Amino acid sequence: MSRRTILRMAVLPLAILWTPWVLAQPRVAVPDARHLLISAIDAPDGQAHGILTGELADAITRHFKATSPIHVDVSTAKRYAQDGCRRLKVSFWQDGVLLSNANAPRRQTIEFGIDYCRDGMAPKSLKAAP
């Protein structure tokens, strides 16, 4: 086996392992999701990711004895003709949540869609962008 082949065999698994880490978007700490909604509207890829912080997030985590912080993912589902307005998919999720009727902790997710503009208001029209 040539040195070149051996090098490829050694480097390929490392590249596969490191790729998700390098491509992952950083999660910013936010006291509420509004910052992420606006960030997703402004982002070239239409996405924003964060960790919910503050007293409410701490209280939710304690109440459900969760093992992770509350993650928030926002992605653009649709662009509207009105400047700065989008249909956004918002997902809140947390690992290790123990519900009162559950046998074991698990990931809990809440997802919803929202029509939202950079100014914090709903769009005046739901006409799609050209």
Q: Report, as an integer, the average pLDDT of 111-117.
A: 98
pLDDT for residue 5 = 45
pLDDT for residue 7 = 39
- Measure the CA angle with vertex 128, ends 36 and 126; round to 5°: 75
Is-above-0.85 flag for pTM?
Answer: no
77-103, pLDDT tens digit by residue?
999 999 999 999 999 999 999 888 889
15-60, pLDDT tens digit by residue?
444 434 434 568 999 999 999 999 999 999 999 999 999 999 999 9
Q: Report, as an integer, the average pLDDT of 118-126.
A: 96
pLDDT for residue 26 = 82
